[in-house]
Each structure stands twice: as C-alpha cells, then as structure tokens.
Amino acid sequence: MADFDGYRGNSLEFLMRSEAGVGDMVEVGTEWGVITGTVVPRYQYDDDRHIVLKLPSGYNVGLSIDRLKGLTRKSSGEKPAFAPPPPPPSPKEDLPRVAILGTGGTIASRVDYRTGAVHPAISSEELYALIPELSEVARIEPEIIFSVYSENIEPENWSRIAERVSEAVAGGIDGVVITHGTDTLGYTAAALTFALQGVPIPVILTAAQRSSDRPSSDAVLNLVGAVSVAGYASFSGVYVAMHDSESDGRVALHLGTRVRKNHTSARDAFKSVGVSPAALWSREGLEIHLEGLPQRRKAAKFSSKPRFEAKVALLKFFPSMPLTLLEALANGGTRGVVIEGTGLGHVNSKNIPFIRRFAEHGGLVCMASQCINGRVNMNVYDTGRDLLSAGVIPLEDMLAETALAKAMWVLANSNSIEEARSMMRASLCGEITERTLR
Amino acid sequence: MKVGIEVHQQLATKKKLFCSCPIVKSETLPLQFERRLRPTQSELGHIDPAAVFEFAKGRSNVYRWNPESSCLVEADEEPPHKMNEEAIDTSILIAQLLHSNLVDEIHVMRKIVIDGSNTSGFQRTAVIALGGELSVEGEEVGVQTVTLEEDAARILGEDAHSRFFALDRLGVSLVEISLDPIMGTPEQVEKAALYLGRALRSTGRVARGLGTIRQDLNISTTGGSVVEVKGVQKLNLLAKVIVYELTRQVGLGKIAADIKKRGIRRVRCTTKDVTDLFRSATSKVLVKSVKSGERVVCVSAEGLAGLLGYEPYQGIRLGKELAEIARANSLGGVIHSDEFGRQGVSKEEAEELEKAMGAGKGSAFVLVAGDESKANGTAALLEVRLGQALGGVPAETRAATEEGETRYMRPRPGPARMYPETDVPEIVVSPRRKERLFEDVPVPWGEKVKEYEKKYSLSPELALQVYDSEFAHTFERLAQGTRLTPSVIATLLVEIPVRLTREGIKEEKIGEEVLVELVHAIDEGRVAKEAAPDLLRVVGEGKAVNVEEAAKFLKLKRLGQAELGRIIDEVVRKNRSMILSKGEDAFSPLMGEVMKEVRGRVDGQLVGEALRLRLRKRGKGKG
C-alpha cells in the first residue's frame, strides 16, 4: 500500500491515479523535459496543487500538478528501515545508574535523508551509539513515559513523572534525568520540586533549544551534563540543566523553583531569577554556587506527593482588564488564582470587591509581580493595603509560574484553605528568598 | 578530462538571505562564542565521511561577530526568518537569463557542512531552476541547476584547538550555477566561467569586488574519481588550477601503474607507535616532538619503497599527498622513508624502525608526530590513503591555493547529506511573479559593452575591460563627474592596475578608494597623469596608503609655470648648438630631456606646448 504522507485533495488524487506514493522513484514529464526523483512527504497544511520530488542531487523541488505531463512510477520506495546503529560502546559495571525519562521532544535523533523525516533514538543502545561519551559517564536506563509537546503538558503529566521518579528511587537508581520540551519546562521543574520534596537523589530536567537532528544541537552537551550531575553530584533535589551561555561549554543547574525561560530561542534561555544558578557543570567538573543544597542520601525512604489541583489560574493583570474575568473564573469552579500584578503587586482597585468575595468564599488568591525581578510589597501604596485586606496573599519574590505550580500542589496537599494559605506564605523549596540581592 | 564548474556569485541584496542584517564587512569583531558541531547520523546508521573527518579533528569553532553585521540568526540562536524576496527575484532573473526552467515551489534544504563555516552545521540552499544553457562564443554549455543559498562564515585562522570565523559574511545571498561538465581545454572552462560572470553582472544585481564570485570545480580524468576543488577566487587562476589538478591526477595514475607493475594487488599497511625509537633521534623535528610529550606513529606500506618520493611530474608525489592529509589534520606533515636522509633520520634509525615494524623488504615507512589521539587518528587516514594509491585518484575535496595549485581538505562528502529546512516554509513561484520579472531581464552584456564603446568612445578592448572589471559603475560615475576623457579614466581604473598586477603587485592592494582619489587628483591638476603608474606602484607596495602620501613619497610636487619655464630655459641653453643645427627637428630630443626632469610633476601636453613656444620665440629672436 502506497504511503501518501501529507498529500490531500488534488495532489493525492494525482498520485493515486499514477499508483505512486511517498518514497517511490518516479519520472515526471514537465513542459521542459523529464525529471526523475523520489516522491517525498508534504506538510499537512500545504496546498494540494503541488507534489514534491527529491532529485538525485538531494534537493527537493515542488512541481505544480497542473503543469505536469504525466507521472510514471519507476520503482517502489524502500521503507525507511533503521539498520542497527554501529555497535555501541558498553558502559563499565561500576558506573552509576541513571534513568533518562523521556516526556516529549527528542533526546537524540537520526535523519532519514530519503524523505527528510527525523526519527527519535529511543533505546539505550541507540543513545550510546549517537552520543558515545554517555557510556563513559553512566549506565543509562532510558524510558519514554509519554510523548507530549511541552505546551500540551498538564498537571496530570507532572503527577505521572513524579510517580515514575519515586519508583526509580525505590529501584535504587543513582540519579534521574527528565527530558522535556523547553516551553513549559520551568513550570514542570517547579511542580516537581514540590511533588518530590525530600527526594534523596538529583532529579535533572533538561531540554534542547536546537533540535537534536542538527549538528549544532545543544542537546548533547545538556544531556551529558545532566547525566553527569544526576550520576555524581553530591547534592539532591530538582534542577534544570541547560546551556549557561551561547557557547558549548558550561551547563547551568538552576533551582527548580527559581528558573524561567527568558528567551524564545537562545541556548541560554533559562535563567535563575533572584539567585545564582545552584551549580555550573563543564567537562572539567562541577562547581557549586549556592550554599545549603540538600545532600544526596543513600537508600533513604522516599515517597512523592504527586497530586495537583488543576483548577488554579494564573492571571496577568492588564489595563482595562474586565471586572468580569475574576468572576467568571470563580463561577467556573476555579479554586485558586495567582495574580501577576503590576509593580509591587497591584491591580486596578475596581477589582478589589470581586477579589474579596472570591477569598471570602474560600478561594485562594495570591499576588506575584509581572516585573519578574524583585519582590512584591503591598504595604507601600493604598491599593496594595486594600488588596491585602481583601484576602490576597503576597508571594514575596516567588516567580509567577512557580506560584501557579505551587498553588496547584498546595490545594491538593492541604486539609483546609487556611492551611493552604499558610503554605503559600512559607518557603517550602527555596521558592521565596529572604534577601533581594539584585 | 572532464571539468564541471560551479560558480557562486554573491547577490547585491540590501539584507541577508534569512534575516534583516545589512551586508557589511566588519572591521572589528568585539563579541565571540565557541561551539562544537557533531555529525548527525542518517538512516542506515550512515554518517557522512566528510563530517566524521571534521569531527575527528576534535577542534572547536570560535565565532567572532559584530552586531552591525550579524544577529542571533547567524549565531544559530534564532530560527531563520522568511527568505529574502529580493534575492528570490534576482535568482529568478538569473535563471531566466540562462533559459533555466523555474520550479513551481521553492524548497529550502539543509546541506550538512560541519567544517565550522556554518554555525548551524548546515548550509541553507534551494533549487530555483533546472536546466538551461549559456552561450559561449556561439557554443552552448548546458546549465544543470540554479540554486539560491546562504554564504558561509569567513575564516579568520586556526590553531591546534580551534578554528576562528567571522560571522559578517554568513547568510549573504549566493546564487550557485552548476554547468554541465565541459570536455574541452582548461581555457575553454575558464572562458565559460568568464561568460557566465558577464551574464551575471549584466543584471546589475550582483555584488562586485574580490571574493564576491568564487568557482568550484569537479575535475576527473578518464577512469579516475571526481575531485572537487573549492574556492578559486580569481578567474585567471582557473586554467592554471585545472592544469595542476589534471597533472596531479595523471601523475597519481602513473604511480598506481608502477605499484601494479611491482605485482602488488593490495597495499598492506601496519601502524605502530614508535616513540621510544626516537627518544634520542638524529632528526631534530622528531626529537623536539618526543621531548614535548608527543607520540611518533609509523605506518608501513609493503612494497612501496621508493614510490613515496617518486615524482612522475614536478611536485607530484605520493609523499606530498600524505603530508597534506597530516596538515589538514593540523599536524606539521610527515617524514617518509624516501626522504629519511634529507630529514635527518639516520641509517641506523631506519634499520631499527624496519625491525620494530616487522615489515617485509621493500616497505615504505611514514612517520607522523603529534599528541596521541591526533597522531593515531592521522595514521589511520594515512593507511586509508596508502590503500587508495593503487586506484590512482581518490575522491577528495581539495582547496585551490593562491598559486594555482590544489591541496587536500577532506574526503568527498557522501550524497546523503541533505534534508529539508523545516523552519522555512516553501515558496510558491507564481506565474504572475515570473511575468513581472520578465520585464526586468537585463540587456545582454554584449550590448552593454557596445554602449560603452559608443557613449564613451572607448576601444572595443578597453570597453570590455571596463565591463569585466570591478569598477564599471565607478567608471560611469567618474566619466560624468570629471573633465578627464573616458579613455583616460578607463586606463587609470583598469589598464594600469592590470599592468601592475602582472608586475606582481597584489590586486587587492589597489582598491577602489585609491583609484578614485587618483582620478580626482589628476582631474584637479594635483598630479600629472604620467605619474599614475608610479603612484599606484608605491601604494601597491605598501609604501603609502593613498595617492597623497604616495606623491609625498615620490617627492612629486606640481611644477609651477615659472619653474617649468626655468627648466626649459636651462635645457635650451645647454643644447644651443644642436638647436642651431637641427632647427625644428630638435624638438623631440629636447622634449625627452625636459620630461626626464619633470615627469610626473606636470602634464606632458603642457610641457610640449611650453617647449614649442620657447623654441618659436627663440627662432623669432634670432630672426
């Protein structure tokens, strides 16, 4: 059965009439002569008036089916079958064991130059074959636990990861690496920090800003750094491991509660906010930059608290924000709202009655700042004081994204709204710092 | 022989191909970052041999940049923006000029290049048109493809650890035109390139200046592999490079025949670390290596004794091929057994080596020194190359040198190194776009040259020289803006610089700025046009940076009327008797004598007029 990946409508019909599909070698007649090539896939939303051929030179060209003078199938395409990769180096028995949990995106991949498709490497053998240096670092145990674009991650995914980490700890693993898309990596890191409080080993989230099929990908350095730290670091806890600069050299380890994606595309998009990175890793070694990190412990008893309350909103205040927005959230069953207020923690004072009513009815309302840097202080202006009296909890210098994950976790792991409010005020995992240093 | 040629021409677009950076050559590069590129694996576990070669060198790439000419797209820190419309238009125009057939949809591809010259590890490239032909003095040369691609980063240098690149050129639009292989003389290939260049320039939409057009060649002789020669920057080197490469290929064929004559059907090689043999060696180079902690690795090849130094043609030796591979791997070179004596390896050492290698009689030995991984890695490549000696010409990518030779760069890339650039959507080339551009198809260059002849009264040769030069636009501007005749301007801009380069002065030393300054200086009477060659020579030799300084250097000062009069008087006085005897005929020898005194300081025409006047006056006085 021919494969028509991405073709639809007229171009699909055209190919079917000629009994040719993706991967087939064909000859097409054009106004200027005959061209041979391989039919390659089209993108789903492309028009249906063209077919795409890969020429023997390797180039793809699009040809209008309206101008083609027929198409003949010369030979059927070989299915892109993966031959076994070159024999991987096998790791030494005395190396630490590190689990690599895949949640989406690709850690490493191979390109099918015939059609242009990118195939992820899944098994440890494939990973060792593509990144041979991993075999000198650790005995890795890769596993895809789910495959979701990071923008589609939901609290239930966090729960699944937390449970899987806890099982791996029970199985005596030395460290865990979680690969994840970059978009919501900061949220997941914060969520896991709360769900995995007291985890005795390092849990390192890592990702790539350049996909792993590219020679310039940052995935390899990030992954090797993450696996090294997971296997050998003296500390435990949840961290994000990503490039420290635009250079391939150092990988920064950011506290899961203090990290934010601050750039859409650069390799060093992730930055620690208000604190320095916890540590910097390079092939030369690991430098610790924060004091008081929890120490790695052996065979400690550990259980995660993986539940989250999904009905929490993160609301960025903006001029002209409709007063009905908060009300609609409350009516929709929202149990908590983290407001990203202006400056020191403000919203238009017209909203205050709605906030008061929401809090009085047992809702959790917290205030972070949209300034990103600095600390909310709601005692400086009248509006701040009014909001406090309406029941808003000021979150000090907690990042808004962290606050959302924390509120979700707190609401699922407290017995009363009072307890939830007091948990929000406390720094459980370094999410609030006492001193503002920049 | 068969020579395929690919011409890469930079386009004169306002912005780069995949971002909005302007096209500027940055003098300073204050920012930098460092990267490593990895070969990516294709289906079937296949990794490109060229990519592996580059990665095995273990070097990092250091990129230097200036925000005036590059942004995060060049740094591979941001996805490419939409493809530049102006560049697409220009490449469509060029395709039409070559009667090449436009594709209906342009698909941008990633061509894997991991020598570091692209931060992404691939070059973005797209086919614009297929087929077509170029007319070269009435004969048609087939066009294979017209592609639009991004230019690579400019290499600044390298050391043992890193290669250094500037990002300013990365991402500039290039049109690449591949011609059908030409089975003619090297001069015919050069002519085809020349005609193609003229056609490209006729659009008025391509960049001018050194390095804006580069030629790659695919050269093969009967039965041999295809060798790719990259980066011939000067057209007048093309034929020379082709002749060198053909000589090399035929020479390698002769060496192969000699190996076969010895009854060898397979070259058997052995590699061993022989550092200990050279701890107190007689060869200074080897001792220095060993003392600094490097390893000496030996590759022996059975039956090849005498063939590494054998020179079927001058400068063509197997030993040189091996040394080039070592150098491409950033080692100093190799020492082989046919030159042991000359390189200070003693007889005793050679015997020890033979024993240690356990190689049979008639073996050749190649020594390479470097740090452990590099020495061993290079030795493995040398083994491969020695094995290929039986086949004559291995498939390689070579670089053209400024001397018109070629040197080894890397193995030839495999075919499977292209996949779609998913960050750039395909572009439909609408029939309307083709029609709109059809009106912009330029007048053929031949007509433009004729126009020069007519409008500026230039000789056909000078008109063509101006058209072919970098300074066609400058010429037009100066012809309008100065009082000098167009032929004087053309001579200054084109003829004199060409004459000076034949004397060995580097073309790039005499830039447009200097030439324009010269034209204005002559126009304003600050220097005489007779001084032009001397002035430019002084600048070309680096003794002055501009015409004003060159004039000071030559102690040229414009002569005033009074001083010229004094000099003429003096000459006339000295030659009184000759003037009496020769009368009018004395003019020429006198003129010669005066010019000897004043050359370059005053226009010859003025001298002639003044002298004639003086002689006439004298005649009258007498009468």
- Encode pLDDT of B238-266 as tens digits: 999 999 999 999 999 999 999 999 999 99
Q: Report pLDDT for A134.
A: 87
Query: Cβ of B114 and A265 within 8 Å?
Result: no
CA distance B116 to B230: 16
Q: In Å, how far is A399's CA from the nearest CA of chain B?
A: 25
Question: Is residue A161 domain-shared with residue A207, that is, in the same domain?
Answer: yes
Contact: A62, B125; criterion CB under 8 Å: no
Nearest by Cα to A270 from A294, A297, A252, A291: A252
Lowest model confidence (mean pLDDT) among A24-28, B48-52, B426-430? B48-52
Residue A194: domain span: 97-288
What is the reported pLDDT for B545?
A: 86
Pairs of CB atoms within 8 A across A/B: 148
Q: List, in order, residues 6 or more apart from A338 with CB less than 8 Å away.
A: A312, A313, A314, A315, A366, A367, A368, A395, A400, A403, A404, A407
- The answer to whether residue B620 scores a pLDDT higher than 60 is no
The token duo for A111 is: 């390109």
A115 is catalytic: no
Tell me what the mean pLDDT of segment B488-496 comes to: 90
Same domain, A148 and A278: yes
Q: Which of A272, A288, A304 is the last residue of a domain?
A: A288
State residue A275's pLDDT score.
96
Q: Is residue A21 part of a domain?
A: yes
Is the Cβ–Cβ distance between A118 and A213 less than 8 Å? Answer: yes
CA–CA dist A194, A178 (Å, integer): 16
pLDDT at B296: 94
- Whether B45 has a pLDDT exceeding 50, the answer reads no
Predicted pLDDT of residue A438: 78
Give alpha helix (H) positions in A336-399. Answer: 352-360, 382-389
- pLDDT given for residue A292 in this prediction: 93
Q: How many domains does chain A have?
A: 3
A106 catalytic residue (yes or no):
yes
pLDDT for the residue numbered B222: 81
Instruction: List, in order, residues 6 or more apart from A382 with CB less than 8 Å away.
Output: A349
Percent of residues, chain B, with pLDDT higher than 90: 49
Mean pLDDT of B300-306: 94
Both tokens of B575, joined, read: 């030659």
Which residues are CB-neighbours of A151 under 8 A, at least 6 positions away? A181, A183, A184
**Active-site annotation holder among A103, A179, A182, A334:** A182
The percent of residues in chain A predicted with pLDDT above 70, rounded, is 91
pLDDT at B221 exceeding the cut of 80: yes
Residues of B in contact with A33 (CB under 8 A): 101, 131
Asked if B233 contacts B396 with a C-beta cutoff of 8 angstroms, the reply is: no
Contacts of residue B74 in chain A, CB cutoff 8 Å? Answer: none
- Strand pairing category for A364-369 and A336-341: parallel
A200 and A257, same structural domain?
Answer: yes
Residue of A24, A38, A103, A106 marked catalytic: A106
pLDDT band at residue B83 under the 50/70/90 scheme: very high
pLDDT in tens, A4-15: 778 999 999 999
Asked if the model's pLDDT at residue B67 lies above 80, the reply is yes
Chain B nearest-CA distance from A403, in A, is 29
Among A73-82, A133-142, A412-421, B92-101, the range scoring the smallest mean pLDDT is A73-82
Q: Name which of B119, B127, B422 is nearest A216 (Cβ-Cβ).
A: B119
Q: pLDDT for A335-344, tens place per residue?
A: 999 999 999 9
Q: What angle do CA A345, A192, A374 make, to 5 degrees?
A: 25
Residue A326's pLDDT band (cuts 50, 70, 90): confident
Q: Is A220 helix (H, G, I), strand (E, B) or coil?
A: helix
- Enumerate the residues of chain B whose CB falls inside 8 A of the CB of residue A245: 33
3-state secondary structure of A64: strand
Of A296-300, B158-162, B445-449, give the lowest mean pLDDT range.
A296-300
The CATH number that applies at residue A398 is 3.40.50.40
Asked if A94 is an active-site residue, the reply is: no
B106, A30: Cβ pair inside 8 Å?
no
A327 & A261 share domain: no
* Residue-wise DSSP of B370-438: ESHHHHHHHHHHHHHHHHHGGGSS--EEEEE-TTS-EEEEEEPPPS--EEE-TTS--EE--HHHHHHHH
**Nearest residue to B86 via CA among B146, B149, B15:** B15
User: Which site among B76, B144, B433 would you substitute to test the A interface, given the most A Cβ atoms closer than 10 Å to its Cβ?
Assistant: B76
Q: A63 and B127: CB-CB below 8 Å? A: no
Task: Give the pLDDT confidence score for residue B168 in this predicted structure.
Answer: 97
Q: Which DSSP letter does residue B103 get?
A: P
Residues A118 and A224 in one domain: yes
Say if the Cβ atoms of B33 and A246 lie within 8 Å.
Answer: yes
Residue A1: per-residue pLDDT: 45
User: How many other CB atoms are found less than 10 A from the CB of residue A177?
Assistant: 28
CATH code assigned at A49: 2.30.30.520
Chain A residues in contact with B418 by the CB 8 A cut-off are 57-59, 113
CA distance B120 to chain A (A): 5
Decide if B43 and A112 are in contact by the 8 Å CB cutoff: yes
As beta bridge partners, residue A141 has A99
* A249-270 residue pLDDT tens: 999 999 999 999 999 999 999 9
- Pick B121's closest partner by Cβ from A63, A215, A249: A215
CATH number, domain of A153, equals 3.40.50.1170
A55/B127 touch (CB, cutoff 8 Å), yes or no: yes
Contacts of B331 (CB under 8 A, 6+ apart): B368, B369, B370, B374, B375, B378
Average pLDDT across chain A, whole number:
91
For A273-306, give one letter per residue: b (16+ CB within 10 A) or e.
bbbebbbbbeeeebeeebeebeebeeeeebebbb
Segment holding A100, helix H or strand E: strand A97-102
Point out the least confidently predicted range of A106-110, B192-196, B495-499. A106-110
Closest-CA distance of chain B to residue A217, Å: 8
ipTM of the complex: 0.93
Task: Say if residues B294 and B286 touch (Cβ distance below 8 Å).
Answer: no
Closest CA to A129 of B40, B377, B414: B40
Spatial contact of A402 and A374, defined as CB atoms under 8 Å apart: no
Tell me, yes or no, whether A372 lies in a domain.
yes
A285 within 8 A of B97, measured Cβ to Cβ = no
Contact A98, A177 (CB under 8 A): yes
Both A104 and A184 in one domain: the answer is yes
Residue A112 included in any domain? yes
Question: Between chains, do A111 and B51 touch, taking CB under 8 Å as contact?
Answer: no
CA distance B90 to chain A (A): 19
* A170 & A319 share domain: no
On whether residue A82 sits in a domain, the answer given is no
H or E stretch at A327: helix A324-331
pLDDT at B43 over 50: no
Contact A215 B428 (CB under 8 A): no
Closest-CA residue in chain B for A53? B107
Assess whether A131 and A183 both reside in one domain.
yes
Take residue B522 and report the two structure tokens written for it: 């002559």
The mean of the pLDDT values for chain B is: 88
State how far the Cα of B221 lies from the Cα of B249, in Å rounded to an integer.
7
**B474 falls in which pLDDT band (50, 70, 90)?**
confident
- Of B314, B285, B317, B337, the closest CA to residue B385 belongs to B317
| Residues A261, A129 share a domain | yes
Confidence category of residue A123, pLDDT binned at 50, 70, 90: low
- Reduced DSSP (H G I as helix, E B as strand, rest coil) percent helix, strand, coil of chain B, to 5: 45, 20, 35
Q: Which residue has the higher pLDDT, A77 or B155?
A: B155
The rounded distance, in Å, linking the Cα atoms of A309 and A328 is: 18
Are the Cβ atoms of A61 and B75 closer than 8 angstroms? no
**If you average pLDDT over each of A69-78, B53-62, B443-452, B483-492, which comes out highest?**
B483-492
At A384-409, the pLDDT tens digits run 999 999 999 999 999 999 999 999 99
Is residue B288 over pLDDT 80?
A: yes
The model's confidence at residue B173, banded by pLDDT at 50, 70 and 90, is: very high
Res B42 pLDDT > 60: no
Weakest mean pLDDT among B298-302, B450-454, B520-524, B550-554: B550-554
Helix (H, G, I), strand (E, B) or coil at B82: coil
Poorest-pLDDT segment among A185-189, A209-213, A330-334: A209-213
Mutate to test the interface with A, among B36, B47, B105 (most CBs of A within 10 A): B105
Q: What residue in A sits closest to B424 (Cα-Cα)?
A: A43
Which of A54, A103, A115, A183 is an active site residue? A183
Q: List domains and CATH numbers for chain B.
A: 9-203+416-420 (no CATH), 259-411 (3.30.1360.30), 445-553 (no CATH), 561-622 (1.10.10)
> At which residue do the structure tokens 């010409």 appear?
B393
- Whole-angstrom Cα distance, residue B380 to residue B271? 8
Question: Domain check: are A124 and A246 in the same one?
Answer: yes
**Does residue A332 share a domain with residue A238?**
no
> Does A80 fall in a domain?
no
Does A261 qualify as catalytic in the annotation? yes
For residue B44, pLDDT over 60 is answered with: no
Q: Are strands B60-65 and B162-166 parallel, antiparallel or unpaired?
A: parallel
Residue found by looking up tokens 């060409």 in the block: B498
Q: Residue B107 and residue A62: Cβ atoms within 8 Å?
A: yes
Tell whether A264 is covered by a domain: yes
Report chain B residues whose CB lies below 8 A from the CB of A57: 145, 418
Shortest Cα distance, chain B CAs vs residue A111, angstroms? 5
- The predicted pLDDT at position B581 comes to 83
Helices A352-360 and A382-389: angle between axes, nearest 10 degrees: 20
- Contact at CB, A64 and B105, closer than 8 angstroms: yes
Same domain, A252 and A323: no
